[in-house]
Structure 1
Amino acid sequence: MESTPAPGENIAVLRKARGLGQTKLARLAGISASYLSKIEVGTRPVTPPVVAALAKAMRVPTQRIYGQPFLGPSEQADLLNDLRSAVRRYTLPKEDVPEPAELAADVAKAMQLRAETNYLELLGMLPRLLGQVTATALSSSGEAGAWTQVSDVYGCAYAAAHRMAQPDLADMIVSRQAWAAQQTWNPEAEVAAAWNEAGTYQSAGQYDDGLAIIERAISKYEGAAGNTPASALSLGSLHLRGIVLASRHKDKNATAEHLERAKRFANGLQSDVLRHNLTFGPGNTALYELAAHIELGNPDRATKMSGPLLEDPPTNLSPSRLGRMYIDIARVRLDMKDYSGTEEALEKAFAIAPQMAEVHPMSREVIRVLFVLHQRARPKLMTMAKRTGLVG
């Protein structure tokens, strides 16, 4: 990965280009000038809600602040271009219809790669696989199962585009997933599409609009679903997305409501379930509760929760979920000025989900702050900084 400007540097450049002083921009964004100054010099991480507030104040997309980690020729850029081309010609697949068993195996492999955060291998197979599942569905005379495969593969594509910081591509993929889901007659597929649609608003910092998408999906699905494990997974997953959106929107009441309802559905499941690229159960709900405490500014409660999670991590969660848990724990430990504990949590994130840890905005921010705070002599931190492209 190539070295790119950090969000703090991008904020400073954008601010100066608009003729804004730190005091005025901080006031517009609802943060202190001291906090903004520390973000710009790299001694405090910029969090997603703050990125959203600063982007709104400067009238730029959030991606302008995060930057683009895949500038110029690179393996990632080539793979993303191939995916973009495949998504663009969504009704004109060039691929032939494969054998059903072969196709089912490839779809399962793509979903596994997504769960394991193996984004490069996933990107390598997605263009061809999207063409194959679409060709199969178009030739199946509306068979619902074939369209469910299309929806699931687009769900994998969304995860890759989102993690590779391609919001425009992610938006296009979500529209394709919704198109496929509407032809499945499968409410679970429509829930998965709504989950990702709300995710695009989350990435853009439009948390209230994302919550509206979630509430609409919950209302629609509640009317169609019975009291089954599948309905618990679907509704519970929607409430998990609601937890993130509400906590970043600093709406404590909505956060508590979504959390309470998610826990109610999770209590009916013995363990976490992964279906249609959605993970739901007691373990994942705990991870979302941890993240909510961080977003709502409750580091003490987050620290208290993180201890048991570190000692006994949920064993049935995928690397994508556990990697995010360790990144969240690193973030709260940084808030508590536990720098060695922060580095330890980051190492665990890199061990279990290396490609996620390399590109996740919060992982990169935590590493950047550690690096600036006179931690440069630590060899493991230097290695992580190089892997994220923060140093050459």
Structure 2
Amino acid sequence: MLEEAEEIGRRVRRARLRLGMPQADLALTLGKSQGWVSKMERGLIELDRVGLLNQVAAELHVHPNDLIGRPYTSSPSENRWQIAASSILRELRRYDLAPVFEGVPRPAKHLWRETTRLHRLRDAAANVAIMQVLPDLFREARALAETATGHEREEAFAIYAVCCKFAHTAAHALGHPELVAMASERAAWSARLSGDPVMPAVTDWMRVWDMWATADWADAIALSDRAISSVQQAYDQGAPLAIRAWGSLQLRAAVSAARGGRKEEAKDRIKHAKAAAARLSEYEGPPIHDRHSLTFSPGNVQIHAISVALEMGEQSKALDINRRTPRSVIAALPNSRQGHHHMDLARAWLWDGARDKALKELETAERIAPQLVRNHPIARSTLRSLVHAERTATREKLRRMSDRFHLDG
């Protein structure tokens, strides 16, 4: 684990030297000291915030995955998801060619049921399983769009766009930047053909996530606001799907603002999201099928508030928000969101000096969402910090005992 931190530091140093950039110049752009950069390059300081990792990568003109070595080296069985990822990429590349599909595609209402299955897999953070399901569903949705007309054709494109969203989420979690980029592009294309008034805003929600990789915080906020404006009228009218999208975009903007150092704006965005969640909770009417698969609820707003506080380096505030949040609100969230939440709490307790509590939260996160946590750079960073602190403490105890025993005498 500690060698991984050293390797990240070496990758940062190689990228910096390739640009001919002195340590002092990198430090200046990051708002850090030259000593901080030196320690980071030697693996003595962790890049323990996504915003910081992405900012370092952006200044060095590389992708964050290039610095942290993602996808991580795993066993052959654990790497087989990359075969499915290649199949998905193949389908996305040939998006405007006649689909290769034998037989007659099923009606849209049947394909929507398949997306419900994907929704369950996503909630369970089963990203490998999502990758394995998607190639066939992409082919069938594209075949339906080719043969159908009218509303049925629009629904086929909507299903294709939602499949892009699932591919995008799984690719982010597993560390496949090429699939992330292409899924986002194809989602925007199919959303425009779907006839779904909210779907383009959902694809912008995806693009905001991608902008984080290059630390384009201001652009991410601008895109969020454009997407919010596109669903504002439907939001004002109380349309549940528009409320979900509007609130989810506010959360995206909150994280962007926090990483960009705009603390007050981040807090305001969280307030807007809370208001949207309250409106959604007050909805009375027939059940609404969440066709866009956006996890938006009061609990999701709370865990984003905690994450935003951590991005701003306010672990005490994050822990306070957690103490005031009813456990039932967190328990109602899907495993994927709960896993992120406990990862954040582990980081908060570590920064607060409570290593035992940090380890307990990390263990909880792994138990709830193992695939997600084992592939998440911040979870790995937190664990490395815990291992390093434990070894340091053990060495100090042994040194003191050695002194008492006069082993050097």
Tell me which stretches of 4 or more aligned residues in structure 1 moved more than 6 Å: none
What amino acid is the match of 2:68?
A: Y
Letter in 2 for 1:314: I
CA contact (8 A) 2:65 2:71 kept: no
CA offset digits 1:240-260 (Å, max 9, x no partner): 111111111111232122112
Match for 1:33: what amino acid? Answer: Q
Task: Flag structure 2 segments of 5+ consecutive residues without an equivalent.
Answer: 395-409
Compute the displacement of 1:335 (Å): 1.2
1:4–1:68 contact (8 Å) kept in structure 2: no
From 270, 286, 296, the equivalent of 2:281 is 270
Instruction: Name the amino acid aligned to 1:305.
Output: I
1:59 maps to what in 2?
A: 61
Task: Give the letter aligned to residue 16 of structure 2.
Answer: R
Q: How far is 1:18 from its partner? A: 4.1
Hey, what's the Cα distance between the residues in 1 that align with 2:367 and 2:26?
A: 38
The separation in 2 between residues aligned to 1:242 and 1:112, in whole angstroms, is: 26
Tell me by how many angstroms 1:310 deviates: 8.4
8 Å CA contact 2:244, 2:296 repeated in 1: yes
1:12 corresponding residue in structure 2: 13
Where do residues 62-101 of structure 1 align in structure 2 (5 Å cutoff)?
62-70=64-72, 74-92=79-97, 93-96=99-102, 97-100=104-107
1:261 alignment counterpart:
272
Output the amino acid matched with 2:196: N
Report the Cα distance in structure 2 between the residues aligned to 1:198 and 1:84, rounded to whole angstroms: 21
Letter in 2 for 1:106: E
1:360 pairs with 2:366: no
Aligned residues: 376
Aligned amino acid, residue 62 of structure 2: V
Q: Which moved more, 1:219-228 or 1:357-366?
A: 219-228
Shift, 1:104, TM fit = 3.2
CA distance in 2, matches of 1:105, 1:39: 48
Q: Structure 1 stretches of 5 or more lacking a match?
A: 379-392
Is 1:207 the counterpart of 2:217? The answer is yes
Per the alignment, do residues 142 and 154 of structure 1 end up closer, same or farther by CA in structure 2, a change over 3 Å counting?
farther
1:282 paired with 2:282, answer no
1:174-253 equivalence runs, <5 A? 174-225=184-235, 226-253=237-264
Is residue 315–residue 352 contact of structure 2 (8 Å, CA) maintained in 1?
Answer: yes
- Between the aligned partners of 2:46 and 2:63, the Cα distance in structure 1 is 19
String of CA shifts for 1:331-367, please: whole Å, max 9, x gaps: 1112112111111111111111111101112112111
What is residue 105 of structure 1 aligned with on the other side? 113
| Matched residue SS, 1:156 | helix
**Distance change (3 Å), C-alpha of 1:254 and 1:138:** farther
Looking at structure 2, the residues matched to 180 and 213 of structure 1 have their Cα atoms a distance apart, in angstroms, of 19
Identity %: 27
Aligned residues of 1:91 and 1:134 also touching (Cα < 8 A) = no
Alignment of 1:120-199 (within 5 A): 120-143=128-151, 144-199=154-209
Q: Note if contact 1:167-1:200 (Cα within 8 Å) is conserved in structure 2.
A: no
* CA deviation vs aligned residue, 1:39-63 (integer Å, no higher than 9, x gap): 3344443122222332233232333
Contact 2:167 2:179 in 1 (8 A): no
CA distance in 2, matches of 1:347, 1:285: 23
Question: Could you report, residue by residue, the CA deviation over 1:251-278 in whole angstroms, capped at 9, with x for unpaired residues?
Answer: 1232122112111111223399955121
Amino acid at match of 1:300: S
Distance in 1, matches of 2:155 and 2:291, equals: 14
After TM superposition, the structure 1 stretch with the greater mean CA deviation from structure 2, 64-73 or 354-363, is: 64-73
- What is the alpha-carbon distance in structure 2 between the residues aligned to residue 112 and residue 315 of structure 1? 16
Aligned partners of 2:40, 2:328: CA distance in 1, in Å? 34
Please provide the CA RMSD for this pair. 2.6
CA distance in 1, matches of 2:43, 2:354: 17
In 1, the alpha carbon distance for the partners of 2:268 and 2:217 equals 16
- 1:42 and 1:334 mapped to 2: Cα distance? 18
Instruction: Give 1:80's aligned amino acid.
Output: A
Q: Which deviates the most, 16-25 or 300-309? A: 16-25
Q: 1:294 aligns with which of 304, 310, 316?
A: 310
Contact 1:211-1:246 at 8 Å conserved across structures: yes
Q: Does 1:349 align with 2:359?
A: no
Aligned residue identity for 1:132: E
Q: Does the 8 Å CA contact 2:184/2:207 hold for their aligned counterparts?
A: yes
